[in-house]
Chains A and B, each alone.
Chain A
Amino acid sequence: MTERTIKSMLPGTFYRRPDPQSDPYVSEGDEVKPGDVVGLVEIMKSFHEILSDAEGRVARFLVENEALVDAGQDIIALEPT
């Protein structure tokens, strides 16, 4: 059974929620499909959505909320549904 990952295309600060008052975009156990928003990256004072490029279930987060991420870094591990 191979695990897939969702990556951040941009470097910056990773956020799990659209704003501090809202619920996380996705949590462990949630099913996602291609195009779903799974997180946000803040870079140079602007915010960019991280979209899932695959179908699957969120197995775990590979980075903490508000952590610094590099371009191409794995954010979420997916397992097959």
Chain B
Amino acid sequence: MQRVLIANRGEIALRAIRACRELGLDSVAVYSTADQEALHVRSADEAVCIGPPHARESYLNVAAILQAARQCGADAVYPGYGFLAENPVFAAACRDEGLVFVGPGTAAIEAMGDKAEARRVAMSAGVPTVPGTEGKTSLEEALEVAADIGYPVMVKAAAGGGGRGIRVARDEGDLADLVFQAAREADAAFGDGSLYLEKLLVDARHVEIQVLGDSHGNLVHLFERECSLQRRRQKLLEETPSPALDDGTRTAMAGAAIRLARTAGYENAGTVEFLLDRDGGFYFIEMNTRIQVEHPVTELVTGVDLVKEQLRVARGEPLSVTQDGIVMTGAAVEVRINAEDPARSFLPSPGQITVLELPGGPGVRVDTAAYAGYHVPPFYDSLIAKLICSGRDRDEALARTRRALGEFRIEGIHTTIPFHLELLASEAVQTGDYHVEFLEQSHAGSGRMPG
């Protein structure tokens, strides 16, 4: 493995190019015609145009990406996040082509991508899942199970995912109506009307465990990331350690993540997501079979370069770290700076960045592919920069995040920086007492953060 094609764009493509360079690997960027002026194109050792702006004709175009790999003599493919990163057909196509796919085995991607199957694997690994039906369900069984676990419950489409195909039933009457409606909708949307039932956990937190595995049977965890601050199921601020985990729960959750990964035969980097309730109970929700956007917070507190580990594992080497050698030091916070206008319900704000001044100083990292003069295209994700700050403790990391956001200057487009300054000033963030519905509830109506 010597020449890695990076099947992505933006900051994560740049992140992968940097990891390749540090390991002495050549990098090849791919780009759509909308990204000719993008930084990842200039930064890579070689760049190949793979099609028009629309992602389905370029970054989602398997044939075009494989053709680019052949053309430039790449022997590996790094998928990043989004686009084709969790697509088992793409992983298999790369491997059939003789390319190293930097990620887990195709079977693991497939199993974790099917929500009902992932739930079944978790149960068989002794990992707690959200109370509900074991698999697909009928109305009779749904009513029986719901009476047993208590309302409210979520009716979910087995073929859904990413927040799609979810309905909430508050009582028995609700559920009877919803099951028919949800089955019809799921059939129309996914071509499969099967449903399963999960208890709706109120005021729960979203906490995830980073795992890393190699082809030599080594499997380690790198502690947790707290990701409860979400808007419409999109994470906006992540931190580690979670303000809500005690040592006992942390150890138990990490152990559960390792058991699931081992049962799934997992290699490379992955993330096991859990809901954590107020009593310290935790429940598996899903596993992401790729690098996460928020991976840098883990890197800052452990000193492990996750992307380089991914590349090492892909070329058959053992992990460079052992479980005993992974220690969490201090705290880290990430805020996502999106090209959106928080004053106008987060309306997308593409366009030219006229001024860009990045923050610096102690404990500050910025992952971005933006530059002054760059046109943020309207075709892709709105993420333009990640600000990640670390400190000896949570207070110092938060103070640095506030200080660095104050230094950040982006002009020409709207960004979520004003929103983050307000969020960091809120009592909920200062005390760490928040949950997954917090932003929806506090932003309903007023658009303002509570004290």
Contacts and interface: CB of A to CB of B under 8 A. Distances in A.
Interface of A: 10-13, 43-46, 48, 68
Contact of B350 (A13, A44, A48): A44
A20 B339 CA distance: 28
Nearest to B54: A13
Contacts of B339: 44
Contact of A68 (B53, B347, B380): B53
B381 A45 contact: yes
A43 B54 contact: no
A17 to B, nearest CB: 15
Contacts of B347: 10, 48
Interface residues of B, number: 12
Of the listed residues A12, A44, A46, A48, the one surrounded by the most CB atoms of chain B closer than 10 A to its CB is: A44
Contacts of B265: none
B218 interface: no
A43 B53 contact: no
B380 A45 contact: yes
Interface in B51-68: 53-54
A18 to B, nearest CB: 12
Interface of B: 53-54, 339-340, 347-348, 350, 378-382
Contacts of B54: 13
**Residues of A contacting B: mostly:** strand
Contacts of A48: 347
Contacts of B53: 68
A43 B382 CA distance: 9
Nearest to B232: A46
B350 A43 contact: yes
Contacts of A44: 339-340, 348, 350, 378-382
Given A10-B347, A13-B379, 7 more contacts: A44-B350, A44-B379, A44-B380, A44-B381, A44-B382, A46-B348, A68-B53
Contacts of A46: 348
A50 B339 CA distance: 21
A10 B53 CA distance: 17
A13 B34 CA distance: 13
28 contacts: A10-B347, A10-B348, A10-B378, A11-B350, A11-B378, A12-B348, A12-B378, A12-B379, A13-B54, A13-B379, A43-B348, A43-B350, A43-B378, A44-B339, A44-B340, A44-B348, A44-B350, A44-B378, A44-B379, A44-B380, A44-B381, A44-B382, A45-B380, A45-B381, A45-B382, A46-B348, A48-B347, A68-B53
Contacts of A68: 53
Contacts of B382: 44-45
Contacts of A45: 380-382
A17 B339 CA distance: 26
A68 B54 CA distance: 10
A39 to B, nearest CB: 16
A11 B380 CA distance: 12
A71 B54 CA distance: 18
A72 B225 CA distance: 42
Contacts of B381: 44-45
3 tightest A-B CB contacts, nearest first: A44-B348, A44-B382, A43-B348
Contacts of B379: 12-13, 44
Contacts of B380: 44-45
A11 B349 CA distance: 9
A67 B347 CA distance: 21
B238 to A, nearest CB: 20
Of the listed residues A10, A43, A48, A68, the one surrounded by the most CB atoms of chain B closer than 10 A to its CB is: A43
Nearest to A41: B378
B45 to A, nearest CB: 29
A20 to B, nearest CB: 12
A7 B350 CA distance: 18
B95 to A, nearest CB: 28
A33 B235 CA distance: 38
Of the listed residues B53, B348, B378, the one surrounded by the most CB atoms of chain A closer than 10 A to its CB is: B378
A47 B315 CA distance: 41
Contacts of A10: 347-348, 378
